[in-house]
Amino acid sequence: MKLLFIVKEKKDFNFLLRMYGKSQTGMVNKITILLIHDAVLVESIPNNDFRLFACNDDVEARGVNTLFNTLDYVQMLKLIADCDKVICW
C-alpha cells in the first residue's frame, strides 16, 4: 500500500519521522511525504528512505531554498491520485 502524508507544520513532520521511522521499517520505501505550508521550512531529515516532496508555491512564498524536489499543484494532484491512502497532518 502506498501511503502519502501531507504535512503542514514543521513540528508535525518531526513527529511523523519519529513515529514512522521506527514502527514501519518494512514500509518506508512505500511512504511518500508532501510538505506544504510551513512544513517546507524543514531543512533536513535524518532518514532518507522516504520519498519527500515540497510544494513549490509554498517554498517560493517563504523565500527559502529546499533540498527536496518541488511539485506544482498539478503534480501534487497526480501524486495524491497515485497513492492508496492519504493522511493529512
Q: Domain-by-domain residue ranges, the chain?
A: 3-88
Res 21: pLDDT:
61
User: Which pLDDT tens digit goes with each residue over 17-56?
Assistant: 777 665 555 555 588 999 999 999 988 776 657 789 999 9
Res 50: pLDDT:
78
As a whole-number percent, the residues of the chain with pLDDT over 70 amount to 84
pLDDT at 79 over 90: yes
Sign of the Cα torsion 25, 34, 17, 88 reads negative
Q: Residue 23 and residue 39: Cα distance in Å, rounded?
A: 22
Res 25: pLDDT:
55
50 bridge partner residues: none
Q: Residue 14 and residue 24: Cα distance in Å, rounded?
A: 15
Q: Which CATH class is domain 3-88?
A: alpha beta
Nearest to 28 by CA among 6, 52, 57, 44: 52
Least confident of 26-30, 60-64, 69-73: 26-30
